[in-house]
A = this chain, B = another copy of it.
Amino acid sequence: MRLKEGNKGNDILLAAIKVFAESGYHNAKIHKIAELAGVATGSIYVYYKNKETILQRIFEQLWERLYNELAAISRRTDINAIEKFDGLIDLLFDMFIKDPALAVVFVNEQNYLIQKDPKGFTPYYQKFIDLGECIVVEGIDKNAFTPDIDVKIIRSYIFGGLRHLLHQWAQSPEEYSLDSIRENVKYFSKRGLLK
């Protein structure tokens, strides 16, 4: 195993997530990331072209992972579209639970990054969104979901609603249990979707 030969590139990424979450991307200092990652400032630039690239890589890793997990769910034949939709929502909630700092970065910085350089943003994001759409379309086709909605619109609606809720939760986690939020979201959304 190559344990303490340590993956510096990844150490930097993990440190960056923490620092971006704490201070926001624009107020984050490179030297603080380096410090937290246990490397010299200059070493950051051995692994990443610049500050923005670090942020891009964070999102690439995030959406690649989420996409792969959603793909696994989507491929399953033992569950129906409704259950797959539940799975999608659980996916996002689980991500937040496992890595709150990453979630904060996602909520706060994704807009900025997409607007700044749409081409540079990871294609996994779009693939994830598309796959989510597929699941809903599948539900409509199977007569489980209502056809009276525009799937692309509702998909964004649900995505934005989730994101905002998770953000609220991240700021004051004591106010609501994530489980309560999760159940309300599922209940409300499915009432909107189900036939």
Contacts and interface: CB of A to CB of B under 8 A. Distances in A.
A152 B184 CA distance: 10
A5 interface: no
Contacts of A120: none
A38 to B, nearest CB: 19
A173 to B, nearest CB: 14
A8 interface: no
Interface string A163-192: 111011001000010001100110111011
Interface in A101-139: 107-108, 111-112, 115-116
Contacts of A116: 24
A191 B112 CA distance: 33
Q: Could you tell me the dominant secondary structure of chain A's interface residues? A: helix
A158 interface: yes
Given A149-B188, A185-B153, A188-B154, A164 B160 contact: yes
A134 to B, nearest CB: 18
B149 A184 contact: yes
A150 interface: yes
A145 to B, nearest CB: 11
A161 B171 contact: no
Given A26-B26, A157-B162, A111 B184 contact: no
A159 interface: yes
A156 B168 contact: yes
B161 A158 contact: yes
A161 B156 CA distance: 7
Given A157-B188, A160-B162, 5 more contacts: A108-B111, A108-B115, A150-B180, A152-B176, A159-B161
